[in-house]
Structures are given as structure tokens and as C-alpha cells.
Amino acid sequence: MKVEKVKVSLNTVDDIPYAPFARPGLVTVNSGFRTQRPVCDKEKCNGCHLCYLYCPDGCILKDGKSIKFDLDFCKGCGICKKICNKGAISFEDEK
Ligand code: SF4
Ligand code: SF4
């Protein structure tokens, strides 16, 4: 498989792309084991994008001045909730 090199200049969080840039390969939806899902309270979120930077699975996407979750790949680890100092992220049970 040919790996494409991408040149970027990163100075602020705004320079980081909307979503991780790895192209989908053999990866398929893998969040079936999650028992709870994250929810963002847009009223509390100040758009700092810290959660986006810390999510180990790259499944937090920038959404204007806030964020949204790629729930196909979020494993429900809770790191985003822990890192958010605005208390904007909570978890709800999967139905
Ligand atoms: S860390 Fe909290 S306040 Fe910052 S973007 Fe994420 S949800 Fe919003
Ligand atoms: S729960 Fe974990 S995997 Fe899901 S969005 Fe938060 S940090 Fe990422």
C-alpha cells in the first residue's frame, strides 16, 4: 500500500485538520462493545478543542466552535470527559 505524505504547519489548534487524516483501510466500525456514549452540552462547551486533541481514537471532530463525536469508533473510555474543564461532556447509557 502506498503511504501518502502530507505536509502541514501546526501552530495553533485551528491549524489542525477537521478530523484525523488517516484514510480508512481495513478498519471498520468497532464501537459495539461500548456501554455508554459521550454527549456534549454545547451551552457549556467553549470550543477549546482539548478533548479533540486528547481523544486516543481520533473520534472527536471539530464542529464550528464546538465538537461532535464519531460514535462508530468511540470506545467510551471517558478521557474526553476527564480533560474537559468546562464539564461539557457527560455520558449516557447505550440503548
Ligand atoms: S474540552 Fe470541553 S469545552 Fe473544550 S471543546 Fe471539548 S467539550 Fe468543548
Ligand atoms: S470516550 Fe474516549 S474514545 Fe470516545 S470520544 Fe471520548 S476520549 Fe474519544
Higher pLDDT, 81 or 64: 81
Cα 84 to averaged position of ligand 2 atoms, centre (Å): 12
Residue 25 is placed in which grid cell?
483501510
With a 6 Å cutoff on the Cβ, whether 77 touches ligand 2 is: yes
Q: How far apart are CA 76 and CA 64, in angstroms?
A: 23
Please tell me if the CB atom of residue 30 comes closer than 6 angstroms to any atom of ligand 2. no
Could you tell which of 75, 83, 91, 93 is best to mutate to test the pocket of ligand 2, judged by most ligand atoms within 8 Å of the CB? 75
Provide the pLDDT for residue 32: 85
- Any idea which of 19-28, 30-39, 51-60, 62-71 has the lowest mean pLDDT? 19-28
Give pTM, 2 decimals: 0.79
Which grid coordinates belong to 16? 489542525
Domains and CATH numbers, the chain: 43-95 (3.30.70.20)
The secondary element (H helix, E strand) that includes residue 62 is: strand 60-63
- The closest alpha carbon to 16, from 42, 45, 55, belongs to 55
Q: Which of 1-5, 66-70, 79-83 is predicted with the least confidence, judged by mean pLDDT?
A: 1-5
How far, in Å, CA of 89 to CA of 30, rounded?
21
The mean predicted confidence, pLDDT, of the chain is 86
Identify the pLDDT of residue 31. 79
Q: Which three cell numbers stand for residue 29?
A: 466500525
Phi, psi angles (nearest 5°) of residue 65: -90, 10
Instruction: Provide, rounded to the nearest whole percent, the portion of the chain with pLDDT above 70.
Output: 80
pLDDT in tens, 65-80: 999 999 999 999 999 9
